[in-house]
Amino acid sequence: MADPEGKTDAGSKRGRARIGLVLFAFIVLAGLWFHTGGRFGPASSGTGQGLAATRPAAQSKPTPTTGITTEAARRWQPPKFTERRRERDAMVSAIRRYGLKDKAVLATMAAVPRHEFVTKRYLSSAYRDTPLPIGYGQTISQPYMVAAMTWYLKLKSGSRVLEIGTGSGYQAAVLTHFTPHVYTIEIVKPLADAVAKRLKRLGYSTVKTRHGDGYYGWEGMTFDAIIVTCAAGQIPPPLLKQLAPGGRMVIPVGRAFSTQWLILVEKDKEGVITSRNLMGVRFVPLVRKSKYSR
């Protein structure tokens, strides 16, 4: 029987709206579980975690690289975007409220179009300060976390930086605003294939991408900075080896689905390594093998 006062339809609509909000909140909270355990607070003292990691016996080499010439990198200028600028500015204001004040980092976060790196399903949420799913069990990082990790690297215009865990390519795009020499590795084959095309389409042409096991880094090279966007049980020894004297590495360390620490690793000019805890975080785990890795 129809409701003579029309309450059934109205109640049904309100019910569906509530369900939608609950589902969205669940997705956001699930993302936050992986990324934000702390804000821009004081770093913990001590030596950090994971410097006694051991090397697995088997090694999987990354597939060939893509990229551009050194001359083109020398003339590099990051692309500019005007779409959704107000939303980007609002996102930057949220980051600033957490205590990050660096002008160069904030300007970069305002310049990179995060909506180009999220799936269609989450386009409307692209500039929320939260991680979002990108498929294959992976996420695009929370904007605040991208900004904070970038700031800790202290990049210079000539720095060579390695990223472990390309994901959507958003972090790599941010890094190109500080240096054109960005190298990035992704283990999930569909993501690696898609991100190479995406970065090229958007104009981030200096980024060199690889599909492979990020645990081993980029063999045969050293880097002034290394950023790891997934949590390792211990700091991979190959990454410590590839960190150049005077270099800095930012990496989340800890077990999956539990409290992790974002750790800053520094190697001095003599090659002596020190580390310290920066903040509590939660990231997706460093993937070594999966059904998507080939």
290 is catalytic: no
**Which of 104, 121, 115, 95 lies closest to 39 in space, CA to CA?**
95
Length of the chain: 294
3-state secondary structure of 260: strand
Count Cβ atoms below 10 Å from residue 248 Cβ, excluding itself. 21
Quickly count: other Cβ atoms within 10 Å of residue 200's Cβ. Answer: 14
* Residue in this structure with the two tokens 């090659």, named with its chain if needed: 271
Are 50 and 253 in contact, with CB atoms under 8 Å apart? yes
Using the CB atoms, write b or e for 78-106: b if 16+ within 10 Å: beeeeebeebbeebbeebbebebebeebb
Q: Rounded to 5 degrees, what are φ and ψ at 148?
A: -65, -45
Which residue out of 141, 168, 275, 293 is catalytically annotated? Answer: 141
Range 152-187 burial, b when 16+ CB lie within 10 A, else e: bbebeeebbbbbbbbbbbbbbbbbbbbbbbbbbbbb
Residues in contact with 45: Cβ distance below 8 Å, sequence separation at least 6, in sequence order: 276, 277
Number of Cβ within a 10 Å radius of residue 212:
21
Structure tokens at 254: 């800890």
Annotated catalytic residues are: 141
